[in-house]
Structure 1
């Protein structure tokens, strides 16, 4: 079980690294597009019509990818006061319940994000010329990553391994 979890941890670690890099590049891209829009509008007295909707779409990507990596590392919102007063085994159970709840939220993101994408697939974003479904793809991908990373946390705990942190080597657990 531990060897399998180490293999899974390596794979999800790579997914987390790629997601975080993509989120960082998305943030840089969005910033560059907004800066270009400001220069074009206020310096050149013109406008680039596609930068605002493209920036909003990119923002969806880096928000959901970054949030998924935060889930993997255990940085999501939690209320830890009771954890200071209970035994270690009870803490592990509560952490697992929390991770399974978050995994359920990831499933909801996939399900409802997919429905939104289907409903808007025939719409065309006027300034970008692409399907409206592309606005909701980050929700589906982010939900998939949230689900995978949450289940990984529960499985690592069940295998007796610690939960992963960014940059950890899964083999050293």
Structure 2
């Protein structure tokens, strides 16, 4: 009997490697959908002027895409910082509804390292999305906002006991990816 497809939620602070690991996972697991909500949001016209509405639309589109992909029997990995439980609960409910397995993983480094890693990525990245998020957070008192985001994430993790924690080791993508695979059960 074939295993049920999984909806893998890869949460964590900005800059800890969610997108890198999701991309690698999809590359190594054929037909897995790497469903990056930030990339979907970028497809919404004038999203910068309508941030809250664009975010809601992008998450709704992500769930619709995840539904179609899971129903086709394929895995979905969603790399996304989530400091509130609402989307996580909707994703878990979707997985149950379509008969898929829901796996919630959080990549973590220390608060200080997470803030430093994000700041460095924003400063050096050639990815326009990374630079854009860096500018947004800079206007919102960058390091303090990043620390607050980290704390919100920890609150979510504490409230969700089935969450699997993977330590994000800076500079060790291979080791962190191996830990992710181990947390996923192989």
TM-score (norm 2): 0.30
Q: Quick check: which one's helix share is greater?
A: 1
Which structure is higher in strand share? 2
Which structure has the larger Rg over C-alpha atoms? 1
